[in-house]
Amino acid sequence: MTPCAQGEGKISPSPRVPEEKHSVQGAMIIESLFSLQGRVALITGAAGGIGRVLSEGMADAGAAVALADVRADETEALAAAIRREGRQAEAFQVDVARRGSNRDLVGGVVDRFERIDILVNCAGINRREPLLDVTEDTFDRILAVNLRGVFQLSQAVAGPMIILYGRA
Ligand SMILES: NC(=O)c1ccc[n+]([C@@H]2O[C@H](COP(=O)([O-])OP(=O)(O)OC[C@H]3O[C@@H](n4cnc5c(N)ncnc54)[C@H](O)[C@@H]3O)[C@@H](O)[C@H]2O)c1
Minimum CA distance residue for ligand 1 atom 28: 124
Q: What percent of the chain has pLDDT over 90?
A: 76
Whether 153 is in the pocket of ligand 1, judged by its Cβ within 6 Å, is no
pLDDT of residue 32: 77
Domain boundaries, the chain: 35-165
Phi, psi of 125 (to 5 degrees): -135, 160
Q: How far apart are CA 149 and CA 112, in angstroms?
A: 22
User: pTM of the full predicted structure?
Assistant: 0.86
Instruction: Using alpha carbons, list the distances in angstroms from residue 10 to 1, 5, 15, 17, 165.
Output: 15, 6, 14, 19, 51
Q: How far apart are CA 103 and CA 151, in angstroms?
A: 12
* C-alpha closest to that of 138 among 126, 152, 124: 126
Whether 145 is in the pocket of ligand 1, judged by its Cβ within 6 Å, is yes
122-135 pLDDT per residue, tens: 999 999 999 999 99
pLDDT of residue 113: 97
Of 152 and 21, more confident: 152
Q: Which superfamily does CATH assign the domain made up of 35-165 to?
A: NAD(P)-binding Rossmann-like Domain (3.40.50.720)
Whether 166 is in the pocket of ligand 1, judged by its Cβ within 6 Å, is no
* C-alpha closest to that of 97 among 168, 17, 153, 33: 153
Whether 70 is in the pocket of ligand 1, judged by its Cβ within 6 Å, is yes
